Structure 1
Amino acid sequence: MNCGHVIRKSGRYSADNVAVWFDGASMTYGQLYERSCRLVNVLLDLGIAPQDRVATLGPNNMWSLEEIAGLALGGFVRIPLHYRNTVDLHLFMISHVGARTLVVDEPRYRELADRLDEVPSLELVLVHGLADAGGGTGDGDRRRVRVLDYERLLRTVRPDDPEIVVHPDDMLHMAFTSGTTGRPKATVQTHRSWLNVTAENMIMLRPITGDDRYLAAGPLSHAASTIIFALLAKAAGNVVMASFEPRRAAELIEQYRATITVLVPTMIQMLVSEPSTADRDLSSLQAVLATGAPITERTIREAQGVLGDVLYLGFGQSEGIPATILTPAEIRSGLAADPSLLRSAGRCTPRSMVKILDEDGNECPPGQQGEIAIDTPGNMKEIWGDPEATASRFTSEGFILTRDIGYLDERGYLFLADRKEDMIISGGFNIWPAEVENAVAAHPAVLEVAVVGVPHPKWGETPRAVVVLRAGRTATEDEIVQWCRDRIGSMKKPTSVAFRTQPLPKSPVGKLLRRVVREQEWPADAGSMIGGA
């Protein structure tokens, strides 16, 4: 069994079910299957082989699901890129995994066009909307990389399923996650591991059927795609948003009677705080999986009041998912009698295990903090191209070391206390301080810098740069923020800058004590949070 079989069965046996709604248009499962087959045949005809890496770039759109389904069907390895990252980061990620092909929308192609030849492995770019934008089907001999129009190619190839043999342990996709230096690393998932994730989602959530409608509100390049194969397996409908906007989300839930969605806590907070939400009928919602970031008790209480008894809180990471789940029943108990549950990340999912390990690798007793180690249905195969990093993340028993600090109570509930390498999770996205610090430190006026996460009412956490300037030099907060926006993108820039005149705290060997800085910057009354995937 492989993930391609999922779309193959739904496309053949539930062909008339609507698979996608987007911006007033729709696509049935039969059409999705045919277009997925056409995508496979396009790539094969152009010399791309199964297990070659294919990067995808662009916001959610009508074709997002056919990219996911088609690449799985053909045995290609999907490399989803987030469209808000910088050009430099896109090029690094494509190069790092040796992708031969990029599938991209026209606006993002225009941003990358002049630099595509910088990626040695890249041979082919398929652009959505290239012909409509006047780009033709290619650009002649001006570039080494071939640039072709996606839709025109799909119309010219055969629609039959080439029935590619895909083995369960073949690679399915890679998800980028930063390392301790802030340098992105790619975790590898196989068809077998992702089918295990799919099965676990179908067990831990309420039953999914062909009558379900999923609101894909977040980027399908990230957490929003986690349950996609469970939905495809049941031929459920998928209402796709280009980007999240709370008023529009509430409107779509009511219009399409959406039953399930995956939202980061920021989106939940925005949805329940949107004034127009109160005027919408959201009673169709039966499951809202919150993942990807810390969530406040206040947000949990407000969501329960507005959305009802539908909230699931999940914990995991791209290296291993899902690990734990806090169910609506447990949240209900937390609201009624046991508030400590609202600070928990839940208990192990049916086929996951969680341990807390001390510095020597010994298992900690209940209540004692240590590093969280998880063994999940979706354990990664490896960190791409880095055997040493891969080995450092696994215990001898096959548990993944999460680098998060926490503890288990006597009942098996997981509580997150800290992030081992001070990662900032802002609006569901991982931001590593080292990357932001490198950008700030490059400013000519900056002597030293520490970047820490501080509470934010909308994003959960947000980066703050604590800066010491060079003698005789000046810089403003706006100048530092803009400097970072230009170098690492809007998503990772600090949203505030604190200037200090004294040196930053350091250990006896001169190592920056970022945790001390964070404690100094984190308000004492900020309230407790739990962590997400």
Structure 2
Amino acid sequence: MEKIWFDEYKRTGIQDKITLPAENTSLVDIFESNLKKYSTRDAFVFMDKKITYQELDVASRKFAVYLQSLGLSKGARVAVMMPNVLQYPVASLAIIRAGYVLVNVNPLYTSRELEHQLNDAGVEALIIIENFATVYQKILGKTPVKHVVVASVGDMLGFVKGHIVNFVLRSVRKQIPAWDIPGHIRFNDAINKVNPNQYKRPNVTLSDLAVLQYTGGTTGVAKGAELTHRNLIANILQIQNLFDSKFKQVDAADIAEFRMISALPLYHILAFTVCELYGMCQGATNLLIANPRDLPALIKEIDKFKPTIFPGVNTLFNALINNESFRQLDHSKMKLTVGGGMAVLPSTAAAWKKYTGVIIHEGYGLSETSPVAVFNPPVSEEFSGAIGIPIPSTDVAILDDDGKEVPLGERGEIAIRGPQVMKGYWNRPDETAKVMTEDGYFRTGDIGIMDERGYIKIVDRKKDMILVSGFNVYPNEIEEVISQHPKVLEVAAIGVADEKSGEVPKLFVVKKDPSLTTEELLAFAKQNLTGYKRPRYVEFMDDLPKSNVGKILRKELRTQSK
């Protein structure tokens, strides 16, 4: 397909290509260069505690030394299970600086979900926040984890404030679960027991694996997208290329220091790449928000911080613009709002511009693409309603079921080729083969249309994926859990529209035992599924619609629910 988006690049000042560094380069080089370059700037802010790039350099180097002291081999998988607290950037940088592979884990996972991911990735060390340590306790001895580091929210907030925060959180839980994990070490103790001068720089290259980012991919089985140093560095450069087209037109005094808000969780690939990695390469100050659902607290932080860049999802933007306190804030410092994870609704975009004066620039990507692959030019002066055009050094094709490109304006599966596309799925060559074409395109499973300007609009999903507040929820996983209930004969899960979350899961159930109730099923789901994966509605049926070969027809259930 002719690269019809080149004209849009020229119009908006975006370059069509990026230049990757030499093969012997890695994220370690990127980290060390920028940690030194921006040493005096504030890197992260959490609960009014600031750490500079120099402090981040020392802390992450010390934690890297601790990890290396454990005797782990190059490429060992180390998991981080925590929300947006100061320990997350320290730990994530340290893992990569030590030559290991970062495995991001949702801290809200149930024990069942955590057990699967730790086993699948072969995780040898786990860094976990104390508040969620009880989840790991339930699976002690069932995973390959040999080393556990436990962090408390207040550990990096200073002696007095840290003790107060930890005391309050422990009082709420009425226990200190970390005490029951044999052989664990406290995060601060791990850092303080080593000398940063003992750090041994690993021999890693662009081809080495850097991150295992778990996703459902094209099925409901959670699997790790293998993101190499090349994938992530490429996406950093691609994002930088895009955003430079905007910021070189802004008064230099306004962006002398980037201020980015991380309200999205850093364990999610969007925030990890855009906020942490790209932000660090710009010397940005990142405001960490652990709980964006606490709107009054979030708005107070926004008022104090006044971000330059605001990445988010539609549900967050919508909640904020419907809050009078947020509307009254001074938004003059905000220069770019980035929408991703789920579709940005036109009504949300219009209200956001009305109250902030800033256009939401929507993009598109997946864990498998590091994640950004398509984006609206940041200098655009109106909300397009589309996910944008392919970013630099990225090809997008719209394919039919036979893998052939469809004419402009016709529907087809969005397929992506570029340096940010994953190496494959961890230990799943069969699943990798299903999504990669012979000429290197990754088939996303999303159905889109490309217009004559190169703009792409998503119109449907080939997958049966449910999108809840920007998080992928796969019916197969929900069905597998619910089917284990002794009173359930058959079950199917679909997504139904929801004003707050975009979609929520709904169950269709055939009873094995007539006494089964909706309340029983929802309680069972609560025990076994993370909050956003839990069904919100249950409908009992005598039979589920099936094809001639016995496959449940979710499409008919979706039609029935409209």
In structure 1, how many angstroms separate the alpha carbons of the residues matched to 2:379 and 2:64?
A: 43
In structure 2, how many angstroms separate the alpha carbons of the residues matched to 1:324 and 1:114?
A: 41
Amino acid at match of 1:216: S
Does residue 257 (structure 1) correspond to residue 306 (structure 2)? The answer is yes
Q: Following superposition of structure 1 onto structure 2, how do residues 123-522 of structure 1 map, counting pairs within 5 Å?
A: 123-129=146-152, 146-160=183-197, 161-205=199-243, 206-207=246-247, 211-222=257-268, 223-227=270-274, 228-244=276-292, 245-320=294-369, 321-327=371-377, 330=380, 332=382, 341-342=384-385, 344-470=386-512, 473-501=514-542, 503-522=543-562
For 1:134-158, what per-residue CA distance to the aligned partner results, in whole angstroms no more than 9, with x for missing partners? 989988xx95xx4212211211211
Contact 1:138 1:148 in 2 (8 A): no
Contact 1:324 1:348 in 2 (8 A): yes
Contact 2:80 2:88 in 1 (8 A): no
* Percent of paired sites with the same residue: 28
SS at match of 1:115: coil
SS at match of 1:84: coil
Amino acid at match of 2:524: W
The 1:504/1:101 distance shift into structure 2, 3 A limit, reads same
Farther-moved stretch of structure 1 (243-252 vs 392-401): 243-252
Amino acid at match of 1:447: L
Contact 1:218 1:243 in 2 (8 A): no
Farther-moved stretch of structure 1 (391-400 vs 121-130): 121-130
SS at match of 1:48: coil
In structure 2, how many angstroms separate the alpha carbons of the residues matched to 1:53 and 1:291?
A: 28
Does residue 80 (structure 1) correspond to residue 104 (structure 2)? The answer is yes
In structure 2, how many angstroms separate the alpha carbons of the residues matched to 1:51 and 1:62?
A: 24
Amino acid at match of 2:184: V
In structure 1, how many angstroms separate the alpha carbons of the residues matched to 2:411 and 2:38?
A: 49
Amino acid at match of 2:486: P
For 1:427-457, what per-residue CA distance to the aligned partner results, in whole angstroms no more than 9, with x for missing partners? 1110001111222333333332221111111
In structure 2, how many angstroms separate the alpha carbons of the residues matched to 1:109 and 1:155?
A: 22
SS at match of 1:189: strand
The 1:500/1:113 distance shift into structure 2, 3 A limit, reads closer
Amino acid at match of 1:278: R
For 1:70-90, what per-residue CA distance to the aligned partner results, in whole angstroms no more than 9, with x for missing partners? 122222110010011111111
Amino acid at match of 1:218: L
Contact 1:247 1:274 in 2 (8 A): no
The 1:327/1:304 distance shift into structure 2, 3 A limit, reads farther
Deviation at 1:279, TM superposition (A): 2.1
Contact 2:123 2:145 in 1 (8 A): yes
Deviation at 1:327, TM superposition (A): 3.8
Q: Following superposition of structure 1 onto structure 2, how do residues 25-104 of structure 1 map, counting pairs within 5 Å?
A: 25-104=49-128
For 1:36-61, what per-residue CA distance to the aligned partner results, in whole angstroms no more than 9, with x for missing partners? 11011001112123311100001111
In structure 1, how many angstroms separate the alpha carbons of the residues matched to 2:509 and 2:534?
A: 14
Deviation at 1:328, TM superposition (A): 5.4
Amino acid at match of 2:530: G
For 1:167-209, what per-residue CA distance to the aligned partner results, in whole angstroms no more than 9, with x for missing partners? 1111110111114542101001111110001011111223496
In structure 2, how many angstroms separate the alpha carbons of the residues matched to 1:229 and 1:33?
A: 14
The 1:424/1:114 distance shift into structure 2, 3 A limit, reads closer
Deviation at 1:282, TM superposition (A): 2.1
The 1:135/1:517 distance shift into structure 2, 3 A limit, reads closer
Does residue 5 (structure 1) correspond to residue 29 (structure 2)? The answer is yes
In structure 1, how many angstroms separate the alpha carbons of the residues matched to 2:368 and 2:34?
A: 29
Deviation at 1:247, TM superposition (A): 2.8
Structure 1, unpaired ranges of 5+: 335-340, 523-533
For 1:477-530, what per-residue CA distance to the aligned partner results, in whole angstroms no more than 9, with x for missing partners? 3322222111223221111112334x22222222111112112213xxxxxxxx
Deviation at 1:27, TM superposition (A): 0.6
Contact 1:313 1:327 in 2 (8 A): no
SS at match of 2:532: coil
In structure 1, how many angstroms separate the alpha carbons of the residues matched to 2:96 and 2:362?
A: 28
For 1:110-159, what per-residue CA distance to the aligned partner results, in whole angstroms no more than 9, with x for missing partners? 3312522111x2111111149988989988xx95xx42122112112112
SS at match of 1:79: strand
The 1:138/1:250 distance shift into structure 2, 3 A limit, reads closer
SS at match of 2:113: helix
In structure 1, how many angstroms separate the alpha carbons of the residues matched to 2:373 and 2:477?
A: 27
Deviation at 1:210, TM superposition (A): 5.5
In structure 2, how many angstroms separate the alpha carbons of the residues matched to 1:278 and 1:410?
A: 37
Amino acid at match of 2:360: L
In structure 2, how many angstroms separate the alpha carbons of the residues matched to 1:129 and 1:372?
A: 42
In structure 2, how many angstroms separate the alpha carbons of the residues matched to 1:82 and 1:147?
A: 20
For 1:289-334, what per-residue CA distance to the aligned partner results, in whole angstroms no more than 9, with x for missing partners? 11111332222222222222331101111111322112455461x5
